[in-house]
Amino acid sequence: MTATALCARPPAARPAGALRHDCGEIARAAVRSLYDELSLYPKPGLVSPVDNGSHSDMDAATFMRSLFSLRRYFFRIAAAGADGAPFAELKRLGIAAERRMLAATGGVNTHRGAIFSLGMLCAAAGRCKALGLPSGPDTVRAMLLREWGAALAAHAGADGISHGLAVAARHGASGAREEAALGLPSVFTVALPALRQAQAESGCWERARIQSLFALMAHVSDTNVYYRGGAAGAALVRGLARRFIARGGVGRIDWRRYAIACHRIFSRRRLSPGGAADLLAAACLLHRLDGHASTGERE
């Protein structure tokens, strides 16, 4: 559904109680999607319940504390989106969520990118629910761009001093701001199609997420990787991910062995594709919002 089609469709007001329930469902889907990412293994260079990957300052327990600190945030931003709140209000909610995350993790940044990308998707899904529209991927993306596209574009160009922005300026990589300003294209055109195709072919939720993650690593210029490994590290990540896809991905009988080998290489070199991990969680959220909360999710 395009933004033009959204404008042509008259709004259908939802009862307050029903809309509150909808926002609660959106928030629960967001939390589950963060766990979809955390619980996955082998996940090259990233924290999982198996090991800490490239990280010495965080583990799965750190991520769980962070995840639970964000539960109310996802509800609040979905409700704000349902009300058609301006971007400044959504940004305020995100900043407050970052503070709660850092308090829960002892100052460790676990989910800053996810707070931004999943938060905006929750807001767009909430707005869809308020207007009586389906929360499928096309509608959610059109709503995101219609309601907050201009503000997101301005936000992407705003001055800042984060590691991600500094790396993006140095290497021409894209970060969470740039992705959101364009309507999260890597989520909608790379991660979600890969997730759904692998899910349909394998019937396995684990394999679907692995395939989606490798598709993202092969495609995205991840500021987290550039920050830790520079251009050489980024080239290594993209090269190994593209080889995984070219070999047949999770359709190969030895896919797990290859993925574990990548994990060991990334961990030794301290490479962490955290941006791809956040986008994987966003794809899982869209998958869940579209009514696929449990279908075929077997490990």
CATH of domain 11-159+168-289: 1.10.4200
Higher pLDDT residue, 14 or 142? 142
Rounded average pLDDT over 80-88 = 97
**Which tens digit of pLDDT belongs to each residue from 10-66?**
555 666 778 899 999 999 999 999 999 999 999 999 999 999 999 999 999 999 999
Is residue 217 within 8 A of residue 44, CB to CB? The reply is: yes
The yes-or-no verdict on residue 224 having pLDDT over 70 is: yes
d(CA 64, CA 235): 31
State yes or no: pLDDT of 175 exceeds 70: no
With a threshold of 0.85, does the pTM exceed it?
A: yes
Percentage of residues of the chain with pLDDT beyond 90: 73
